[in-house]
């Protein structure tokens, strides 16, 4: 009798488990199923805008400045940079020109004719990049904007016309350029990159003597634009074998 009762209890216990599982399954098919689906692995979730993905090898944005992307340095997928990032670089060159003009003992506008060289790597003076070329290019504009007579040494004696391509007035081919330009001074500059910072120095030098007429400097954080422009750094296979002569401009400082 006692053995029969034990068997019945085991059967009832097993039946209870089966009933419980059935009720749980029925409940999951009701309203709870919708709640659980929100957390399934393949269900899309909106990521908050201020969420930052981090790994031990990547600095957060607070370490390297706004709009910086390591993808620009590693050749990964490129992301569009906000237009104001490029505008900031333009305004930095304007500030640099303002320092040069303010630091000169004598007025530059209306007194000096100036040429501008590409900015170069401080540690490799024959190495430059898109950033170095842009600094020189934008400085020409800012000097002219400040009413300074600026000379572009890349202008060819005659315009070249190529069918199907366009018309060209600038060149870096020494065989196509004037070898003599009249100017009183030249703007030369360097840049250096360290710890996510770019250090830029510019100087206004008197032609012939190398006398330092004025100088200026900037320090700013590497961002997506400047990082992209630094990627193509390079230098000629050999040091330049041809030279463009810069002579004092007649009737101006040093040419009188």
Q: What is the CATH number of the domain that holds 92?
A: 3.40.50.10610
- Is 140 within the bounds of a domain? yes
pLDDT of residue 193: 95
SS3 167: strand
Q: Summarize pLDDT for 17-34 with one digit per residue, the tens.
A: 555 555 555 544 544 444
Predicted TM-score of the model (pTM): 0.62
- Is 214 within the bounds of a domain? yes
Q: 71 is written with which tokens?
A: 């993808």
Per the CB < 8 A criterion, the answer to whether 191 and 119 are in contact is yes
- Is 58 within the bounds of a domain? no
- Taking the C-alpha atoms of residue 234 and residue 121, their distance in angstroms, rounded to an integer, is 10
**How many domains in the chain?**
1
- Is 18 within the bounds of a domain? no
- Is 40 within the bounds of a domain? no
The CA-atom distances, in angstroms, between 205 and each of 106, 115, 142, 156, 184 are 13, 10, 17, 24, 9
Q: Summarize pLDDT for 102-152 with one digit per residue, the tens.
A: 999 889 998 999 999 999 999 999 999 999 999 999 999 999 999 999 999
Residue ranges making up the domain that contains 164: 65-235+243-247
Q: At what angle do helices 83-103 and 130-145 cross, to 10 degrees?
A: 60
pLDDT of residue 142: 96
- Is 127 within the bounds of a domain? yes
Of 9-23, 95-109, 170-184, the least confident: 9-23
- Is 29 within the bounds of a domain? no
- Is 79 within the bounds of a domain? yes
SS3 107: coil
Q: Summarize pLDDT for 187-235 with one digit per residue, the tens.
A: 999 999 999 999 999 999 998 899 999 999 999 999 989 999 999 888 8
Per the CB < 8 A criterion, the answer to whether 252 and 112 are in contact is yes
Query: Is 24 exposed, middle or buried (CB count within 10 Å of its CB: 0-12, 13-18, 19+)?
Result: exposed
């Amino acid at each position: 009798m006692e053995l029969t009762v034990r068997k019945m209890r085991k059967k009832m216990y097993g039946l209870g488990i089966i009933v419980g599982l059935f009720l749980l399954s029925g409940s999951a098919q009701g309203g709870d199923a919708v709640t659980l689906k929100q957390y399934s692995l393949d269900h899309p979730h909106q990521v908050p805008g201020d969420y930052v993905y981090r790994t031990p090898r990547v600095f957060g944005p607070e370490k390297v400045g706004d709009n910086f992307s390591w993808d620009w340095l590693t050749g990964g997928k490129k992301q569009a940079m906000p237009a104001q990032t490029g505008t900031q670089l333009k305004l930095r060159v304007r500030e640099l020109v303002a320092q040069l003009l303010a630091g000169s003992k004598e007025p530059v506008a209306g007194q000096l004719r100036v040429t501008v060289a590409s900015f170069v790597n401080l540690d490799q003076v024959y190495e430059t990049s898109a950033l170095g070329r842009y600094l020189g290019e934008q400085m020409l504009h800012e000097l002219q904007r400040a009413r300074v007579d600026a000379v572009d040494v890349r202008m060819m004696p005659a315009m070249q016309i190529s069918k199907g391509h366009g018309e060209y007035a600038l060149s870096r081919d020494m065989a196509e350029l004037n070898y003599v330009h009249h100017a009183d001074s030249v703007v030369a500059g360097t840049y250096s990159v360290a710890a996510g910072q770019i250090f830029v120095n510019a100087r206004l030098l008197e032609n012939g003597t190398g006398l330092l007429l004025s100088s200026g400097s900037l320090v700013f954080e590497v961002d997506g634009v400047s990082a992209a422009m630094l990627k193509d750094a390079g230098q000629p296979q050999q040091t330049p074998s041809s030279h463009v002569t810069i002579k004092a401009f007649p009737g101006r400082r040093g040419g009188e």
